[in-house]
């Protein structure tokens, strides 16, 4: 359990003025982000993701609503207290925002200098942080000598310098290739698990949420459409995020390739190992032949989840589909005819 404070967003609204027009970037967003979790905020371009993350450390002042870190209401703080609170929040950016005239070590050192940490302590801390992000041997490199992934590692080390409670990451992997994205997500995951730092991660990529998040929220046109822990979203047939996260079932198979009288059924498995016993029971109890047409099983948010497309058939006639559906439901497997 993390010792850090949870984040509570209450009725958040943010309006921008554009000439004589008002743009509502966030509209009545309420959201709880558990401490110690990795929480993904998903949404299309313009959905309000960046505005939300900027409101979380009050880089943008909300038009209405509250941001609570534990029981501290950020908007109610005086400037000095707000500066102290901001030290509890590290920022990681899509384009790294490194100082080009400083080495990797000097970039990581910058927030410690601002905080007045004495030089010997600073050097020790910088070495420790560069080691943590796997760049101990590149301390003296200039940003121009580093790859995108290495720059982001420096960005993460810098964000951790002041020993924050949380990292706010705005599209931290959007500028990186797939392999480097995986490595940076692994680093964020290990930082989260080792240090207990809450990671709020803005992304428009489902793969990012699948890879590391414990929970997620979906923003649409400034409004929160849904949010929750991944296992709950995956188990909820009405959850759009849950449906997106599940592996796809196969496209329909041409009828000529199916056994005669076959009926197609799509199974959704949410945190169950029941596949084998279920398929066996369809054969044993109902005398059905089960042909696996496609699908996949993955581990997402600590759960095994999947979708499978089956053809059910029986020698001599059509299968008893209602009986098959009720047997599947008795095994807690969601099944719909296709």
* 48 counts as binding ligand ATP under rule CB under 6 A: yes
Q: Contacts with ligand ATP: how many residues (CB under 6 A)?
A: 13
* 125 counts as binding ligand ATP under rule CB under 6 A: no
* 45 counts as binding ligand ATP under rule CB under 6 A: yes
* 248 counts as binding ligand ATP under rule CB under 6 A: no
Q: In this complex, which beta carbon is closest to ligand ATP, that of residue 54 or of residue 125?
A: 54
* CA dist., res. 336 & res. 317, Å (int): 21
* CA dist., res. 222 & res. 206, Å (int): 19
Q: Quick one: CA dihedral 234, 237, 240, 244, positive or negative? A: positive
Phi-psi region of 242 (alpha: psi -120 to 50; beta: other; left: phi over 0): alpha
* 172 counts as binding ligand ATP under rule CB under 6 A: no
Looking up tokens 């414990």 gives 214
* CA dist., res. 216 & res. 33, Å (int): 9
Q: In this complex, which beta carbon is closest to ligand ATP, that of residue 95 or of residue 124?
A: 95
Answer for which of 7, 47, 208, 300 binds ligand ATP (CB under 6 A) is 47
Query: Smallest distance from the beta carbon of 47 to ligand ATP, in angstroms?
Result: 4
* CA dist., res. 36 & res. 196, Å (int): 5
> Would you state the structure tokens that stand for residue 1, as one six-digit string?
């359990």
* 46 counts as binding ligand ATP under rule CB under 6 A: yes
Given a contact cutoff of 8 angstroms between Cβ atoms, the answer to whether 319 and 261 are in contact is yes
Query: Smallest distance from the beta carbon of 73 to ligand ATP, in angstroms?
Result: 22
Answer for which of 23, 76, 81, 323 binds ligand ATP (CB under 6 A) is 23
Query: Smallest distance from the beta carbon of 41 to ligand ATP, in angstroms?
Result: 9
* CA dist., res. 82 & res. 65, Å (int): 17
Residues engaged in binding ligand ATP (CB under 6 A): 16, 18, 23, 25, 43, 45-51, 204
């Amino acid at each position: 359990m993390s010792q850090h404070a949870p984040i509570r967003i209450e009725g958040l609204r943010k309006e921008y003025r554009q000439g004589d027009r008002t743009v509502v970037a966030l509209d009545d967003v309420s959201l709880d982000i558990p401490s110690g979790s990795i929480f993904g905020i998903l949404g299309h371009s313009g959905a309000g993701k960046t505005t939300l993350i900027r409101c979380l450390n009050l880089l943008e002042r909300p038009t209405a609503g509250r941001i609570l870190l534990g029981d501290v209401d950020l908007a109610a703080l005086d400037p000095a207290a707000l500066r102290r609170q901001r030290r509890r929040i590290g920022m990681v950016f899509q384009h790294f925002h490194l100082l080009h005239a400083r080495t990797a070590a000097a970039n990581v050192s910058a927030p410690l200098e601002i905080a007045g940490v004495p030089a010997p302590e600073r050097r020790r801390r910088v070495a420790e942080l560069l080691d943590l992000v796997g760049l101990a041997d590149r301390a003296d490199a200039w940003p121009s000598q580093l790859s995108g992934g290495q720059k982001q590692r420096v960005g993460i080390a810098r964000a951790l310098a002041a020993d924050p409670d949380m990292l706010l990451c705005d599209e931290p992997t959007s500028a990186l290739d797939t392999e480097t994205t995986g490595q940076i997500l692994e680093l964020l995951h290990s930082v989260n698990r080792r240090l207990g730092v809450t990671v709020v991660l803005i992304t428009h990529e489902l793969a990012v949420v699948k890879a590391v998040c414990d929970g997620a929220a979906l923003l649409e046109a400034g409004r929160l459409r849904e949010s929750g822990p991944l296992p709950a979203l995956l188990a909820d047939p009405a959850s759009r995020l849950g449906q997106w996260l599940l592996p796809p079932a196969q496209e329909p198979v041409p009828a000529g390739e199916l056994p005669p009288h076959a009926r197609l059924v799509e199974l959704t498995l949410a945190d169950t190992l029941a596949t084998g016993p279920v398929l066996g029971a369809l054969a044993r109890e109902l005398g059905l032949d089960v042909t696996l047409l496609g699908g996949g099983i993955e581990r997402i948010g600590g759960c095994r989840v999947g979708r499978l497309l089956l053809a059910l058939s029986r020698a001599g006639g059509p299968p008893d589909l209602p009986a098959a559906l009720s047997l599947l439901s008795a095994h807690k497997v969601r099944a719909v005819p296709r």
